[in-house]
Structure 1
């Protein structure tokens, strides 16, 4: 990429940063714009047209079979870049964006969760996974959690600056208090509740490896990720009778529609439905 385009992308990053976009969004948008320009052989922005965007979508995104979410991410990034820096509009609506598949969340049974949480003997690893499930945390939330955010006396945990730059509180289950005390005594974290070997923030990769090891030891043949534990937490709450509005607050969802997906995988109402065969005088 030539120097002027490098400079343009730096300006784009600065604009996003000044508007308090998350670092993850800044990275994904700027990389999307860089891919776009590279595909067009560094064509000057002033000469780029809607047709270029169509060709890029067809010959780069679709031909390489990238996901619907990636396609939207790229189009949104390019659109914003031209709106802000070029002060002109590329019309990405000319590209028919496929609807994102409405997949149900992956959910583990309570027994499977129990087997995973009991599989590890390492105190830090066990505490980390127990906290992840029992509070329904996102991966980023547990990694960013600081010691000062644990409000032990109130039985609450403060989740700071989470998705959508929102703060919220979640319950710190009393059953975790003794484990929490053991953990503090053994590891004495200075800033982050879960820290790496040399101090500082624990890595997302290490968290994934810990969970993978626990899943294997538990004998579970599923590609479990940290978010599966959050999905399972929400579903188990609903099955236990917790109102969906409270689950929405606990998960930090802005819209109740996001939370309602857990009603589709909960078996609370499903268990009350009798099959017609159960009312038949029939020998099986």
Structure 2
């Protein structure tokens, strides 16, 4: 959705200014791209609905947009947008309209008027140790096993796996350092020999192989075929595939 075309020059300008604003606020990696992307989709939506100025956006417009994003297909996987992604879209709108208020583009924020009820999230299934070990038998690569080890063996959140760097895995001490975790404090996680073996096998046998056009690789623990930090959505898709 980050490449949706916006024809209205005023909307283009607002999007560019909002993107710069988000960048200066120093949001965490990923959020600085996600919020402007959500707003691009919103501006694309209202432009195609014939809303010619941002001042003409009202609560009904926001409501229509919410119905649109809650029913449109997910671009990365089967089904629709998750509750988490819907909340991100709504939060992006609030940030955007608060920005327009602060810069005197608007006198009030229509994004704060509607109330939305998200569908109840399905309860997550907790896997037993035997079930987790069986997952390793369906792995197709060293990276699959390392991903399972980080997620289930170390209990890392998706964002923590994305931000994990090579130096954060200290094999001779048998620990993983999680930086900038949910409570904004570093924490130390012990890893078993089983987990350490799979993490090390990924580094030795696969991490730097298969890169497209022999591209340079960064310091991320999990990397994509382009040598960049592996995206959280791709990690999530892979875990769902294995499970």
Query: Contact 1:118/1:126 (CA < 8 Å) preserved in 2?
Result: no
Measured after TM superposition, the shift of residue 157 of structure 1 is: 0.9
Partner of 2:54: 45
For the pair shown, the structure with the greater C-alpha radius of gyration is 1
Pair 1:4-2:10 in alignment: yes
Measured after TM superposition, the shift of residue 96 of structure 1 is: 2.7
Q: How does 1:17-166 map to 2 (within 5 A)?
A: 17-41=23-47, 42-57=51-66, 60-61=68-69, 69-87=84-102, 88-120=107-139, 122-163=141-182, 166=185
Measured after TM superposition, the shift of residue 149 of structure 1 is: 0.9
Give me the TM-score of the superposition, normalised by structure 2: 0.67
Question: Equivalent residue of 1:170, what SS?
Answer: strand
**How many residues were matched structurally?**
214
**Taking structure 1 as reference, are residues 107 and 30 closer, same or farther at Cα in structure 2, changes over 3 Å only?**
same
Q: Structure 1: 5+ residue runs without aligned partners?
A: 216-223, 225-284
Measured after TM superposition, the shift of residue 121 of structure 1 is: 6.9
**Taking structure 1 as reference, are residues 89 and 162 closer, same or farther at Cα in structure 2, changes over 3 Å only?**
farther
Question: Equivalent residue of 2:95, what SS?
Answer: helix
Measured after TM superposition, the shift of residue 45 of structure 1 is: 2.1
Query: Contact 1:46/1:86 (CA < 8 Å) preserved in 2?
Result: no
**Taking structure 1 as reference, are residues 129 and 46 closer, same or farther at Cα in structure 2, changes over 3 Å only?**
same
Partner of 1:169: 188
Query: Contact 2:207/2:223 (CA < 8 Å) preserved in 1?
Result: no
Q: Over the residues paired in the alignment, what is the CA RMSD in angstroms?
A: 3.5
**Taking structure 1 as reference, are residues 212 and 69 closer, same or farther at Cα in structure 2, changes over 3 Å only?**
closer
Higher helix proportion (structure 1 or 2): 1
Measured after TM superposition, the shift of residue 206 of structure 1 is: 6.2
Q: Structure 2: 5+ residue runs without aligned partners?
A: 1-5, 73-79, 209-216
